[in-house]
Amino acid sequence: MFVLGIETTCDETAAAVVERVDDKRPGRILSNVVLSQVNEHAAFGGVVPEIAARAHVETLDHVISKALADAGRTFEGIDGIAAAAGPGLIGGVIVGLTTAKAIALVNEKPLIAVNHLEAHALTARLTDGTPFPYCLFLASGGHTQIVAVRGIADYVLLGTTVDDAIGEAFDKTAKLLGLGYPGGPQVEKEAVRGNPQRFALPRPMLGRPEPDFSLSGLKTALRLEAERIAPLSDQDVANLCASFQQAVVEMIEDRVRTGLHLFNTRYGAPTALVAAGGVAANQPIRKALHRLAYDAKTILVVPPPELCTDNGAMIAWAGAERLAHGFVDGLDVAPRARWPLEEVIGMRPQVAYRVRQ
């Protein structure tokens, strides 16, 4: 089964073609075209929704053509058209979903409206064929969640952030310290030459019984330290980055350990700890997750960085998984700015299956 996937929920215009053979095997990526809008947004220190939507309109056709050409296929050779239908910046989501509807209608192919978080959640099956059930740690610019992934369209939220997402905290730290956008990679780079013990920053939520996260106290503490010692030398910036990253790593270790424990209690041993989302590209965080998986006697699955950050292959793959289960959508499916993962359901024509809790 070959599926075309379209991703336009944030600042990447992306399209890809993937092949899915069966439930056991990893997928095959025939093409994966990602056009980043980073330069368009850099001057503003963050994504500007209106600029993002316009850029998607201008480039999506070309990105899709290239994805098909790279895969050596035409629309006739595609079995389904998948697009991220949310959550995300609504202008961009509308561009991607409407384009997918038009392609599906003209070519008489099934349309699959994919939840962007579901796509991150299922990427481990594309890369490694990870069987269900597994414990997902999803950390991106907009989301920080621990999820029990029990099957297609069967996701149970175990923990989440009560304020900022981890990627967002990295981005805000970078902005505060005058580093570029997106902030995560910059903070990680600066931290290499910094002293993680230099500043005693808080580790919010440590030891709490529920595997939730909180980042805003850490963010405020960092700002106060930076203001206290201003003007900042290069070494100060590196030390602040290292101290911030160390606090985040320790928080993740504690929270994900608690999440794995909760998973075990409710569902038995997970087949893997899976990391997804842009933050999973961070090396010290990956190391911490390795330790956690080892301690929990499971394995760690982390997709390569280009599949951890937003891309079309993950949308195509989630579309293929859903299509294989007969979950398709009508042309009236609506784009959604807000769409929590646990509200994702498997839709077969005429029949809706609610998520088991």
Which amino acid does the sequence have at 302? V
Shortest Å distance, C-beta 292 to Zn ion: 22
Which residues inside 101-140 make contact with Zn ion, applying CB under 5 A?
140
Q: Between residues 1 and 337, which has the closer beta carbon with respect to ligand KG4? A: 337
170 touches ligand KG4 (CB under 6 A): yes
In whole angstroms, the minimum distance from the beta carbon of 167 to ligand KG4 comes to 3
Task: Return the range that interacts with ligand KG4 (CB under 6 A); candidates 51-59, 168-176, 216-224, 328-336.
Answer: 168-176
Give the bridge partners for 347, in sequence order.
Answer: 352
Task: Write down the least CB distance from residue 265 to ligand KG4, Å.
Answer: 29
Q: Residue 185 carries which side chain, given as an amino acid letter? A: P
When CB distances are held under 5 to 8 angstroms depending on the partner's kind, the choice from ligand KG4, Zn ion, none that residue 282 binds is: ligand KG4
d(C-alpha 214, C-alpha 248), whole Å: 10
- Looking at beta carbons only, is 87 or 196 nearer to Zn ion? 87
Residue 104's identity, in one-letter code, is A
Residue 201 is encoded by which pair of tokens?
Answer: 């920053």
Q: Is 22 exposed, middle or buried (0-12, 13-18, 19+ CB in 10 A)?
A: exposed
Would you count residue 183 as binding ligand KG4 (CB under 6 A)? yes
**Closest to 275 in 3D by CA, of 46, 291, 343, 346:** 291
Q: Which of 168, 171, 310, 321 binds Zn ion (CB under 5 A)?
A: 310
How big is the chain, counted in residues?
357
12 makes contact with Zn ion (CB under 5 A) = no
CA–CA separation, 80 vs 349, rounded Å? Answer: 15
From Zn ion, ligand KG4, none, which one binds at residue 154 (CB under 5 to 8 Å depending on kind)? none
Options 141, 194, 196, 259; binder of ligand KG4; rule CB under 6 A: 141
Sole window of 24-32, 79-87, 139-147, 253-261 interacting with ligand KG4 (rule: CB under 6 A): 139-147
Tell me: does residue 130 bind ligand KG4 (CB under 6 A). Answer: no
Contact (Cβ atoms closer than 8 angstroms) between residue 80 and residue 6: no
Residues 261-320 that bind ligand KG4 (CB under 6 A): 277-279, 281-282, 309-310
Q: Quick one: which segment of 83-91, 100-108, 303-311, 315-323 binds Zn ion (CB under 5 A)?
A: 303-311
CB of 351 to ligand KG4, least distance (A): 31
> Which residue's CB is nearer to ligand KG4, number 239 or number 309?
309
HEC profile of 46-84: CCCHHHHHHHHHHHHHHHHHHHHHHHCCCHHHCCEEEEE
Write the secondary structure of 115-173 as one string of H (helix), E (strand) and C (coil).
Answer: EHHHHHHHHHHHHHCCCCCEEEEEECCCCEEEEEEEECCEEEEEEEECCCCHHHHHHHH
Q: Which is nearer to Zn ion, 279 or 323 (CB)?
A: 279
Taking the alpha carbons of 179, 181, 187, 192 in that order, is the dihedral positive or negative? negative
- The site for ligand KG4 (CB under 6 A) is made up of 10, 140-142, 167-168, 170-171, 182-185, 188, 277-279, 281-282, 309-310
- The site for Zn ion (CB under 5 A) is made up of 140, 310
